[in-house]
Amino acid sequence: MRKIILSILGILLIIGGFFGAQAIIANKKSFKPKAQKVVKTVFTEVVENGTVPIIVPANGNLVAKNRVELYSEVQGVFRKGSKLFKTGERYNRGDVIIRIDASEYAASVQSSKSNLFNQLTSIMPDLRLDYPEFFPKWQDYLTSFDMTKPTPALPEMTSEKEKFFISGRGILTSYYNVKNLEQRLSKYRISAPFSGVLTETLVTEGTLVRAGQKLGEFINTDVYELEVAVSKTFSDLLKVGEKVKLSAMDDATGYEGKVARINGRVDLASQTIKAFIEVKDATLREGMYLEANLDAKQESEAIEVDRTLLLEGDKIFVVRDTILDMIDVKPVYFTDKKVVLKEVPNGTVIVSKPLLGAYAGMAVKVYDEKANTKG
């Protein structure tokens, strides 16, 4: 009896569970999540066409405008001067930079001068007898002849017979031989043509110097030049004397230079023209890397934007009633980061910062700077 009752209860529970499940399934409602529409925020600006300066960037290394490569024209032993022949040593204009031992050569010069003096002395008696009118000036010349000083110029010969007499005695030949030797003797010393500093030295005291050997380099540290390559497009816009702003990459200090020279030839490989900018500043050093901004011209009725905003080479995004659109523009000049555009109507609301995934017809929200500032 008990088993029968338990069996009946089990069957009723199964039947009740079946109908309960059917009721739950019949009353179940499906909820579909609503897709949230994301509206991206864009930064914009209103176009106001104006005059945009076209600035041509260029760069290069400074080189001293006045520089001398020191070469020896004679042979001899390099002797110590008043200052050490070392890099960084400063010399004033006229100071002796290099002195080569010339004692042997100087003796030969003195010998030639003595020979000239003897020749002059020997002609004086004949000159007094044959041409007494010329005797006084030659007597004065002989009296002023100093063996320790450079040979003075010969007296001016005013007549043919005087010239023939002097030349026939070999005076002219001896005189010009002495002057030639004195000229060569002067090459045993090299003096500073201007005030400056030694930037390279290749010999030391006691070295045997040979003719044609390079000894060093000497530069003027007052004036430098910056050689830059400019596109031939702007060749007719650059002018000599035009001021140029210069800056160093690792220094906030600015410098001001001017265009000193412009090469008249276009480089065949790069199609650029070399321009030389002169700059003066006590803090500059040869070899420094500088960037120059050349004011090429003024572009009217134009705007300047980031290059990242230019699409397909000649289009930009604009906002029309919270919807993105694209318009055609005319690029006229490119830099590394900027582009100058024309044919953009005044009052047009353009996108001022790139927007990821942007497309024409996309709904956007314009960034309100005032509202965000207040919040």
Closest CA to 277 of 69, 66, 59: 59
Could you give the C-alpha distances from 261 to 54, 226, 229, 310, in angstroms and in order?
Answer: 21, 10, 12, 36
Q: What pLDDT does residue 372 have?
A: 54
CA 369 to mean position of chain CA atoms:
42
Q: Which parts of 146-230 fold into alpha helices (H)?
A: 160-168, 171-185
Q: What pLDDT does residue 294 have?
A: 78
**Whether 365 contacts 330, CB under 8 Å:** no
Q: Is the pLDDT of residue 40 over 70?
A: yes
Q: What pLDDT does residue 245 have?
A: 86
Could you give the C-alpha distances from 97 to 42, 84, 187, in angstroms and in order?
Answer: 69, 9, 12
DSSP 8-state secondary structure symbol assigned to residue 207: -
Cβ-proximal residues to 102 (8 Å cutoff; 6+ apart), any chain: 74, 76, 185, 188, 189
**Whether 68 contacts 161, CB under 8 Å:** no
Q: What pLDDT does residue 6 have?
A: 67
Q: Is the pLDDT of residue 329 over 70?
A: yes
**Which domains are assigned to the chain?**
42-52+300-374 (2.40.420.20), 56-64+223-297 (2.40.30.170), 68-95+192-219 (2.40.50.100), 104-186 (no CATH)
Q: Is the pLDDT of residue 81 over 80?
A: no
Q: Which range is most confident: 208-222, 313-327, 331-345? A: 208-222
Q: Per-residue pLDDT averaged across 254-273, rounded?
A: 87
Q: What pLDDT does residue 18 have?
A: 66
pLDDT tens digits along 144-192: 998 888 999 999 888 888 889 888 889 999 999 999 999 999 999 999 9
Q: What is the CA radius of gyration of the chain?
A: 46
Q: Is the pLDDT of residue 224 over 90?
A: yes
If pLDDT is split at 50, 70 and 90, which confidence band does 70 have? Answer: very high
Strands 96-100 and 189-191: antiparallel
Q: What pLDDT does residue 367 have?
A: 80
Classified as helix, coil or strand, 6 is helix
Q: What pLDDT does residue 32 have?
A: 55
CA distance 276 to 247: 16
Q: Per-residue pLDDT averaged across 205-221, rounded?
A: 93
| Maximal C-alpha separation, the chain | 186
Closest CA to 93 of 190, 194, 218: 194
Residue 146 burial (10 A CB sphere; 0-12, 13-18, 19+): exposed
And the tokens for 292? 């120059």
**Whether 1 contacts 8, CB under 8 Å:** no
In the chain, pLDDT over 90 holds for what percent of residues? Answer: 34
Q: Per-residue pLDDT averaged across 342-369, rounded?
A: 86
Q: Per-residue pLDDT averaged across 233-239, rounded?
A: 73
Q: Per-residue pLDDT averaged across 340-353, rounded?
A: 89
For residue 214, which phi and psi values (nearest 5 degrees)?
-80, 135
pLDDT tens digits along 83-130: 889 999 999 999 999 999 998 899 999 999 999 999 999 999 988 888
Closest CA to 305 of 353, 347, 343: 353
Q: What pLDDT does residue 194 have?
A: 93
Q: Which range is most confident: 31-35, 201-205, 227-231, 355-359? A: 201-205
Q: What pLDDT does residue 49 have?
A: 92
Q: Per-residue pLDDT averaged across 215-233, rounded?
A: 90
Q: Per-residue pLDDT averaged across 13-23, rounded?
A: 70
